[in-house]
Amino acid sequence: MKNYFVLIIGTLLLIACSTPPQSTKARIQDISESVYASGNIESGDQYQVYSTVSGIIDDILVEEGQLIKKGQPLFTLSNEGVKIALESAQLNRDYANLSQNQNKLKELKFSIKAAKLKWRNDSLSYERKKMLYSKNVITGAELESAELNFQSSSSNYTSLLLQLEDLKKQLTLNDKLSMKNLSQSLKNSNDFIIKSEINGTVYSIIKNKGELITPQTPLAIVGSQNNYILKLQIDEYDIVKIKKGQQVSVRLDSYKGKVFKAIVTKISPIMNERSKTFTIDAQFINAPQTLYPNLSLEANIVINNHSKAICIPVSYLFNDNFVYLKDGSKKRVIVGLKDYDKAEIIEGLANNDEIIIPNEN
């Protein structure tokens, strides 16, 4: 029985030793070098909705997935203090409105008209009394009384004219101040109506009705409906290889087995110190029919491309610069571009040269 097992093992070893090594031939192919990137999909103009004031969410005027227009109200907030201030400003505006205070001007103008008439009469009376006094018809006391009446009516008339100018200025000032106060109160009130800054879609509503929010609280996420951007994270060691206009091959988890083409459109000039990556933007050349924000993706950015190059599988390389020929001899080669599957041989092999997979691998 023991001899039987020895015979089987020996036979297997003989078969294994006699199996020829796996071989392939160098072939002329197209090859490209690329940089790996990961990232996600964002809607164009995507942003988080914030309020500029604190308050309680009084009403949510939209739903997730709803199409919206620029300037369309999304949320309303409640704040009793602002409401009272607006009502007070409106009342003050109604009271101080210049057009509503014309009666005060008319009343003063009537008083001025009467004062002017009295001033003229007292002036004429004073002139007559002076003439009569010069003829010794009246006493000095009567003349003095006429003079005092004239001076009093003249002062009263002048005073009323000054009051008219002051009243005009005061009413004009009150009118402008009330208008400014009302405008400011309306602005403050409008701050409690959160509106969309773009035409697009509501992708997410983060807060609920009745919740207290501050200017640091995100309320929703909105973005463009059909315009999507690829946000890609590039390692700092590779960023110098990236240029605008380079082609990108994109793979999405939601579209297994499919590759979509995109193009680099923007390169962020600052590195994220925590992740040691740069962010670049790309846009689809052939976008999937259905997309959603925050879909994860993997991509390869093509940084170099050679056509009709002599290529071999990467697995046939030994120590990055050597291959084994069919006769078992080792040969040094110069390697050019590499991708995940194949390597370009710049020097050392010709088309159709046969090589074997290295035993050292």
Place of tokens 């002017």: 116
pLDDT in tens, 213-248: 999 999 999 998 878 999 999 999 999 999 999 999
Determine the topology of domain 21-32+305-356 in CATH. 2.40.420
Share of the chain above pLDDT 90, in %: 46
| Residue-level pLDDT at 19 | 61
Determine the topology of domain 47-77+192-220 in CATH. OB fold (Dihydrolipoamide Acetyltransferase, E2P) (2.40.50)
Strand, helix or coil for residue 190:
helix
Q: What is the pTM of this model?
A: 0.56
Strand, helix or coil for residue 14:
helix
Strand, helix or coil for residue 232:
strand
| Residue 164 contacts residue 112 (beta carbons within 8 Å) | yes
Laid out side by side, the sheet with 73-78 consists of 193-195, 73-78, 55-60, 212-213
pLDDT in tens, 308-331: 999 999 989 988 899 999 888 899
User: Yes or no: is domain 34-45+226-304 CATH 2.40.30.170?
Assistant: yes
CA nearest neighbour of 49 among 228, 217, 231: 217
| Residue-level pLDDT at 89 | 66
| Residue-level pLDDT at 55 | 87
From residue 212, give the alpha-carbon distance in Å to each of 58, 81, 218. 10, 15, 12
CA nearest neighbour of 234 among 295, 284, 303, 335: 303
2 pLDDT above the threshold of 60: no
Task: Give the integer Cα–Cα distance in Å for 117 and 109.
Answer: 12
268 pLDDT above the threshold of 60: yes
Question: How sure is the predictor about 98, in pLDDT bands with cuts at 50, 70 and 90?
Answer: low
Angle at 161 between CA 157 and CA 167, to 5 degrees: 140
DSSP letter string, 301-337:
EEEEEEEEEEEEEGGG-BTTTEEEETTS-EEE-EEEE
| Residue-level pLDDT at 13 | 47
Place of tokens 């080792």: 330
124 pLDDT above the threshold of 70: yes
Structure tokens at 348: 């050392």
Chain-centroid distance, C-alpha 139: 91
